[in-house]
Amino acid sequence: MRPQLLTKKNRENTSPSWSPDGKMIAFSAKIDGVRQIWIYNFDTEEETPLTTGPQNKENPAWAPDSLHLVYNTDNEENGELFLINLNQKTPTQISRGPGQNGLHRGSRNEYRQEIANPLHLNYKFYEVL
Q: Which domains, ranges and CATH numbers included, belong to the chain?
A: 3-115 (2.120.10.30)
Q: How far apart are CA 92 and CA 84, in angstroms?
A: 6
pLDDT confidence of residue 97: 66
Q: By the 8 A CB rule, do 43 and 80 touch?
A: no
Give the residue-averaged pLDDT of 102-129.
41
Give the residue-averaged pLDDT of 90-117.
54
Give the model confidence (pLDDT) of 3-53 as tens digits: 776 777 777 888 999 999 999 999 999 989 999 999 999 999 999 999 999
Q: Which residue has the higher pLDDT, 129 or 108?
A: 129
pLDDT more than 70, % of the chain: 71
Q: How far apart are CA 112 and CA 59, in angstroms?
A: 9
Q: How far apart are CA 117 and CA 99, in angstroms?
A: 25
Q: Please report which confidence band the pLDDT of residue 2 belongs to, taking 50, 70 and 90 as the band edges.
A: confident
Q: Are strands 56-62 and 103-104 parallel, antiparallel or unpaired?
A: unpaired
pLDDT confidence of residue 9: 79
Closest CA to 105 of 58, 63, 60: 58
pTM reported for the whole predicted model: 0.73
